[in-house]
Amino acid sequence: MHRNNLLQKLRTYHPADTHEMSMHQRIIEFVETQPECFERTLLIGHITASALIVNRQRTHTLMTHHHKLEKWLQLGGHSDGDPDPLNVALREAEEESGIKGIIPVSKDIFDVDVHPIPARKNEPEHFHYDIRFLFEANDSHELTITAESKDLAWIPLYTIENYTTEESILRMVRKLQASK
């Protein structure tokens, strides 16, 4: 079954707090009950994957000012049928930044999040069941802004709250800082 690898990773993952624990359980239940969970055409929601990209010194993170959502976020996107969220996160990170040579710090899940996506044109409101991984990249590479972004920037971790109040991003930064 194409969902087994993700379910195995999810079952060995340990959430950081009770809020993340509840989202972790929601994702497991979603993957167990939705055979088409990796397909964007599943209108109630779908699996997405994200990359928290840090520089080698772990002092900065690469963020995108998302064009449609008007927020500073980590890079990532839809699975589009790919059942390997690590592969999806890497593909999306490279496509959205133009950086080659992004490397996973670990193949293990770094964070999970469930968040609503507002209704647009032909899509109803739905949920993204986001699987997140930690990556490193050279922060001297030239960045390529795509149609999905208004901007890309290496943001110092100590200033992250000047760019976002999204708890899920702040939680990832806290995890990163705690691991130093």
pLDDT digits (tens, 9 = 90+) for 77-133: 999 999 999 999 999 999 999 999 999 999 999 999 999 998 988 889 999 999 999
Task: Give pLDDT tens digits for 35-93.
Answer: 999 999 999 999 999 999 999 999 999 999 987 778 999 999 999 999 999 999 999 99
Measured between alpha carbons, how far is 76 from 110 in angstroms, rounded to an integer? 14
Do 54 and 138 meet the contact criterion of CB atoms below 8 Å apart?
no
Do 149 and 66 meet the contact criterion of CB atoms below 8 Å apart?
yes
Instruction: Determine the pLDDT at residue 84.
Output: 97
Domain boundaries, the chain: 4-135+146-178
Site of tokens 């209108």:
43
4-135+146-178 folds as Nucleoside Triphosphate Pyrophosphohydrolase (3.90.79)
Measured between alpha carbons, how far is 136 from 101 in angstroms, rounded to an integer? 9
Task: Give pLDDT tens digits for 24-34.
Answer: 999 999 999 99
Do 42 and 34 meet the contact criterion of CB atoms below 8 Å apart?
yes
